[in-house]
Structure 1
Amino acid sequence: MRFRAGHDPFRVSGSDHPQRIRRSTLPDDFSEAGPAGAGYLGASLPLGRIHAWIVIFTTVIAVFAVRAAYLQVIEGQRYRQLADGNRIRILTIPAQRGMLADRFGQPLVSHTPNLRVQVVPVDLPKAGAGRELLVVELAQLTGAMPEDMRQTLAGLDELSYEPVVIRENLSHDQAIALALLSSRTPAVKLDVASRRQYLNEKIQSLSHVLGYLGKIGPGETTEARARGYELSDSLGKAGLEQALEDALRGRKGREQIEVDARGQRKEVINYEPPTAGTDIVLTIDAGAQQVLEDALRRALAVHPPGQGVGIALDPRNGEILALVSLPTFDNNWFARGILPSEFSSLADDPQRPLFNRAIQGAYPPGSTIKPVIAAAALQENVVTERTTVYSSGGIRVNQWFFPDWKAGGHGATNMTSALAESVNTYFYYVGGGYDSFNGLGVTRLHQYLTGAGFGKPLNVELWGEASGLVPTPAWKEQVIGQPWYIGDTYHLSIGQGDLLATPIQVAAATAMIANGGTLYRPHLVRERKPAGAPLGSRQQPVALASNIFLPEHLAVVRRGLRQAVKTGSARALNMASLPVAGKTGTAQWSSTRPNHAWFTGYAPADDPQIVVTILVEEGGEGSATAVPVANEFLSWWSVERQ
């Protein structure tokens, strides 16, 4: 084909516009556009299809916008923290836990170095050969099984910057090897913390008093975090460590540091020092605690099952000088991390060494309750000091017989001789009445027993204190489904039947008799001192009740208790160097097992400065078993402490 000179072969003939094409030369599915119906090249799309594309495009934009908003607004803080975490990290600095000392300042705890290895979850290899290699290496260096280490690491929050302790109490060799691993692996940190060491190897009964620290359990995580703990922290689990946790723990410090790409420290940006916990001076006399524990151990060695309690307290203010519960345990087992076999040996022991019998055990108090009954009878004018009751060996009510402990009885008995010889018949009369003699009755017995601290916790600082039980007709009807009989009142009057008391309640009631009528709250904390301070705040005695009994009525009771030591059931305590007053008790609790043996008393009889309460479970007669323990302890006290 030939083209004319000057002719543009790409221009359509007959058109003044090079890009226009005549309509007749295009297929029918093209349409005109432009001014005056001029034909433009363009595809004709259905209106519905256009709308569909607009909806799709708008939806995609909206999804991206919502996602962007979510990441910036909702998750923005989290990702900012993650970004900052790559460069800036906040470390907590443990606070020194407060010390515990006895009343003379003798330390009862110390702190020893605790080498431990931590991992930073966010720095751990996420998967693959690198993570498995680290698992195996950590297991080898810490003495753990690889599967256990694998499960430990798998349970961590992989986005967390909080170091997690995976093993502690490392040996020196283990620490060196782990330090080398830490130098090349940012996820592993070697840490030196302090571990509580209890200095009561020779006075293991202090384990019940001091308690121990333990790790935060799975069920405690939420509450612990709310209180500012980290998962690797320890906190009080028993004894005073638990009861005084808030005072002892102190306040952690904080350190803000910049790290490099390997997670290694570059510089400190900010530092907030920790505040040490409060030091606590106890009312406990460590020397008295040891002597009482040793004396009680010797008694229990010949009286199976070998379970008992010894308490010494100051009747002038309620300060507990010694609190012994046997058998006991070694709280350092828990401090270093108790082994499963060790815990099983404690938990499965039928003697229940973890059970603090001094405050948690509830027993029939037997005749140790009689001083309170005697004071109540004087207070209510049921008897006077000279009122005489004839004891012929017991009393009979219809077909029931309520015996004295002495066959044939004690003859004519007044209050002094009734307390000295522990005459049941006398207390049947004053408690429940007989024939024309009107006794206190169950309502007034309940009133005075609860007023003297029985049937309710005394709020000793230790957790788990039992209430004991002072039964009533309503209680018996509701719990046992039986009516109250006169025999129930008689049993209540001599400390038997359903009446239950803790040893600390018996000691507190004895102190009330000794000091002239004030029931003090028994307590273990003498002073609180800020760490390193020479002086602190002294614990003031708390009076739970006073003026329940007139002083002259208590003076009558005290004469009876003094007579019990001079000529009565506790005469083995009649020492020349120290005048003692007290009451023995022999409490029936089983028809097939031996009775519990009790003694409770105070010294000096004319100026009470110490109360001693002894319980030997299944020890038989209080005069034969409990009194010798009190005698050994008071003999020491008269020389070393009076």
Structure 2
Amino acid sequence: MPLYIKRKVKEVGIEDIFLDKLAQKREQEHFVSSKKLEVPLDKNGFFSLLVFGFLIFGFLAGFTFYLQAQGKEKYNSLSQQNKFTNFNLSAERGIIYDRNLLPLVKNESTFELWVKKSELPKENYNQAIIAISSIIQKPAEFIRNLIDSAIQDDFLIAGDLNHEQLVLLTAEQAEFPGFIIKKNILRQYQGPLSMGHILGYLGKISQGEVAVLQSNNYEFADYIGKEGLEKYYENILKEKKGIVKFARTAQGKIISQEVVQYPASGQSLVLSIDAKLQKKSEQALTLALAENGLKKGVVVILDPRNGEMLTSVSWPSFDNNLFANGISIEDFQRLNDDKNNPQLNRVIAGLYPSGSAIKPVMATAALEEGIVNEKTILYCPPKLCAPHQYDQGADCYPDNAYHGYTDVKRAIAESVNPFFYMIGGGYTAPKPSNEYYDPKLPKKFEGLGIMKIAQYLNLFGFGQTANIDLPGEASGRVPAPEWKEAYFKTPATQKWYLGDTYNLSIGQGYFLTTPLQLAQAIMAIANNGQLYQPKIAKEILLSNNQKQAIPPILIRENFVASSTLKIVRTGMRQTVTSPAGSAHSLNVLPIAVSAKTGTAQIYPNKKIYLNWIAVYAPSDNPEMVMVVLIEEVVGLKSTAQRVAREILDWQFYTRNLKEKTPPVLEAPAPLEVSSLTGSTTPETISTTTTATTTESAPFSTTTISH
């Protein structure tokens, strides 16, 4: 760029006069020539600088306009968020009562200290830590490390604060924002120990549940239902949180507060459970188990008039108060390591072969399909031998005793296995020259067949959940050829044999049910063909002191003829009244009852059994259907009958004496001791694959094979 020296007079400006004078003086002092040099501005550069200045000015003016006009609401909202904070107020969770309004759980208030990291003060942070440390009696370094390592914004640092700590923390809370006192409601369960599976328990929200539950106004510190009714009815029992808005200064100090929404307690539940009957059932069951050196059993009682559950005992159980304030690692490990699995609700999730307790349903199916009628008599030998399906031999299926000519009612009462083999799988006699030929047996008898058996089992609720209002219910299994083909891998095991149908006909083989499903099926027989969905919750107590009934759900009705069910009920009554009946020991009760027993072998070649009884009472106008199951009974015993007898005697006699006028008692039929002690030893049959079912009176063993 060229440099120019000012030399023309007309170019001298006023400022040059002073500059030249200074230059002359410097020249005289230092003997140096000093001339003023100037560089003129480039026109393009000057224009660019001017445009850039205008752009900066325009941007600043536009952004100022946006802040004042368009961004007013947004930034005003942000400033309000900095100034105001919403805080949730807890209320009490709903109470759970039994059918007589006896509380099964109560609420106890405790207070906890939580930290909200995003609101901790930047100034006076260390002073806040030291002050909090002295109150909750925890080292300041521990609190600091806890805050630094926390992943969540909200987390607990001290629980179950005493009164002195609560007062001191309340005083300090305004000075040290970010430290929050929260009220927590602890559940104290008061029912019998066996109520643990029914009521369930609460637990803290897990990390995986936070995202879902925060949209429903839950906080990370909240407790929610984890099991049982506490989980199933969470939306009814949970409280409605209150909201308080706090105003604070820029330094975080609270200067005012306003209640936006008042808290409201959760709604309470009234159950169909009878707490006194539940307690008695637990006592009768645990006593029988202890006296026989056993650990596991079930009692479930339904009301056949509406499907309400009156009692549900699954043993062993657990103390749900262990979970009320967070179970210890040791206690939780002990529960998990217990080989008897006390956390399993056997009533709804235990799967078992029913043994002969299924026979009333099988008899119903055969009567409905015309396989037999009330007068049909079949000869029932000590063992039923049928020609083998795939070779020249025969498969033999022994009974527990010799019964001879039998009709359907006697077959139910005395649990005659050959009768149910034939009505289930049919029978084809071998040639007269065959060693297994018996002229008393029918030459050709058409049974139900596997598909009809499966159809009726499904109609009575087997192989599907009962949809009771509890989580964790199992569906059971009704086996069929398609199931077996899919379940097994080799061609030989995938085939459906006649022995599979025979086994299913007496509740053995691959058939699995829950005690609840069996009770539901017997309920439909007792009430003349109404299959109700079992339920535990009876009513909801609303906030206005009104009750909202939870109506019974009728799944189906009139799916079986009344005349058919009358025949079956007669057979179940004879199970008790007949001296040869398998539940004749119940005939001493002061009220007419009807029953069906069952004993299923669970370990091959071991005399260890599941001992069942299904009973309803009173026989003419049933008020309750009860199923009792005793697991792993060594030998042939009537342990389940004893439990049922004690519960029924208490419910219909002892309890009546204590609580109301005793009913008019039906005179029991005389008890014949010989019928309880006599037994017949069946002939031993050697076969390749066996499964066993037995009945308790007379005591003997039946071996099933194919």
Q: Shorter-chain TM-score category? A: 0.7 to 0.9
Instruction: State the secondary structure of the residue aligned to 1:632.
Output: helix
- Whether the 8 Å contact between 2:358 and 2:506 is mirrored in structure 1 is yes
Task: Report what 2:413 is aligned to.
Answer: 420
CA apart distance, 1:69: 11
What letter is aligned with 1:498? Answer: Y
How far apart are the structure 2 equivalents of 1:622 and 1:580? 23
1:444-459 maps to which residues of 2 (within 5 A)? 444-459=452-467
How far apart are the structure 2 equivalents of 1:143 and 1:605? 66
Instruction: State the secondary structure of the residue aligned to 1:43.
Output: coil
Task: Report what 1:106 is aligned to.
Answer: 102
CA apart distance, 1:603: 0.5
- 1:20-69: per-residue Cα shift (whole Å, max 9, x none)? 99xxx9xxxxxxxxxxxxxx96535485x779878988998999999999
Q: CA RMSD in A?
A: 3.4
The answer to whether residue 181 in structure 2 is matched with residue 186 in structure 1 is no
How far apart are the structure 2 equivalents of 1:425 and 1:73? 93
CA apart distance, 1:390: 2.0
What letter is aligned with 1:515? Answer: N
Work out which of the residue numbers 543, 563, 583 in structure 2 matches 1:531. 543
CA apart distance, 1:121: 2.4
How far apart are the structure 1 equivalents of 2:377 and 2:65? 94
Work out which of the residue numbers 503, 514, 524 in structure 2 matches 1:502. 514
- Whether the 8 Å contact between 1:599 and 1:622 is mirrored in structure 2 is no
Work out which of the residue numbers 325, 330, 336 in structure 1 matches 2:314. 325
The answer to whether residue 195 in structure 2 is matched with residue 206 in structure 1 is yes
Task: Report what 1:558 is aligned to.
Answer: 569
Instruction: State the secondary structure of the residue aligned to 2:419.
Output: helix
1:590-609 maps to which residues of 2 (within 5 A)? 590-591=603-604, 594-609=608-623
Quick check: 323-332 or 269-278, which moved more?
269-278
Work out which of the residue numbers 437, 442, 447 in structure 1 matches 2:450. 442
Quick check: 255-264 or 370-379, which moved more?
255-264
Cα distance change on mapping 1:301 and 1:132 into 2, 3 Å? farther
Task: Report what 1:338 is aligned to.
Answer: 327
For structure 2, list consecutive stretches of 5 or more residues without a partner in the other structure. 1-5, 21-36, 429-443, 657-662, 664-706
Task: Report what 1:120 is aligned to.
Answer: 116
1:456-605 maps to which residues of 2 (within 5 A)? 456-481=464-489, 482-531=494-543, 533=545, 535-566=546-577, 567=579, 568-591=581-604, 594-605=608-619
Cα distance change on mapping 1:352 and 1:51 into 2, 3 Å? farther
- Whether the 8 Å contact between 2:129 and 2:143 is mirrored in structure 1 is no
How far apart are the structure 2 equivalents of 1:277 and 1:250? 4
How far apart are the structure 2 equivalents of 1:463 and 1:75? 51
CA apart distance, 1:378: 0.5
Quick check: 310-319 or 58-67, which moved more?
58-67
Instruction: State the secondary structure of the residue aligned to 2:611.
Output: strand
Quick check: 626-635 or 71-80, which moved more?
71-80
Quick check: 170-179 or 138-147, which moved more?
138-147
CA apart distance, 1:87: 2.9
Task: Report what 1:406 is aligned to.
Answer: 400
How far apart are the structure 2 equivalents of 1:637 and 1:465? 28
How far apart are the structure 1 equivalents of 2:202 and 2:69? 42
How far apart are the structure 2 equivalents of 1:69 and 1:413? 101
Quick check: 145-154 or 547-556, which moved more?
145-154
CA apart distance, 1:570: 0.9
The answer to whether residue 277 in structure 2 is matched with residue 282 in structure 1 is no
In the superposition, the TM-score normalised over structure 2's length comes to 0.78
Quick check: 67-76 or 213-222, which moved more?
67-76
Instruction: State the secondary structure of the residue aligned to 1:372.
Output: helix
The answer to whether residue 227 in structure 2 is matched with residue 238 in structure 1 is yes
- 1:548-572: per-residue Cα shift (whole Å, max 9, x none)? 2111111111111111112311111
How far apart are the structure 2 equivalents of 1:78 and 1:302? 75
Instruction: State the secondary structure of the residue aligned to 1:470.
Output: coil
For structure 1, list consecutive stretches of 5 or more residues without a partner in the other structure. 1-10, 26-39
CA apart distance, 1:607: 1.3
- Whether the 8 Å contact between 2:112 and 2:161 is mirrored in structure 1 is yes
The answer to whether residue 424 in structure 2 is matched with residue 431 in structure 1 is yes
Cα distance change on mapping 1:630 and 1:133 into 2, 3 Å? same
How far apart are the structure 2 equivalents of 1:380 and 1:184? 82
- Whether the 8 Å contact between 1:596 and 1:621 is mirrored in structure 2 is no
- Whether the 8 Å contact between 1:585 and 1:598 is mirrored in structure 2 is yes
CA apart distance, 1:536: 1.1
- Whether the 8 Å contact between 2:129 and 2:144 is mirrored in structure 1 is no
CA apart distance, 1:171: 3.8
The answer to whether residue 263 in structure 2 is matched with residue 253 in structure 1 is no
1:67-82 maps to which residues of 2 (within 5 A)? none
Quick check: 299-308 or 97-106, which moved more?
299-308
Cα distance change on mapping 1:553 and 1:183 into 2, 3 Å? same
Cα distance change on mapping 1:143 and 1:349 into 2, 3 Å? farther
How far apart are the structure 2 equivalents of 1:622 and 1:584? 12
The answer to whether residue 632 in structure 2 is matched with residue 614 in structure 1 is no
Cα distance change on mapping 1:527 and 1:265 into 2, 3 Å? same
Cα distance change on mapping 1:391 and 1:243 into 2, 3 Å? same
Instruction: State the secondary structure of the residue aligned to 1:484.
Output: coil
Quick check: 322-331 or 94-103, which moved more?
94-103
CA apart distance, 1:402: 4.5
CA apart distance, 1:165: 3.9
Instruction: State the secondary structure of the residue aligned to 2:118.
Output: helix
CA apart distance, 1:197: 1.6
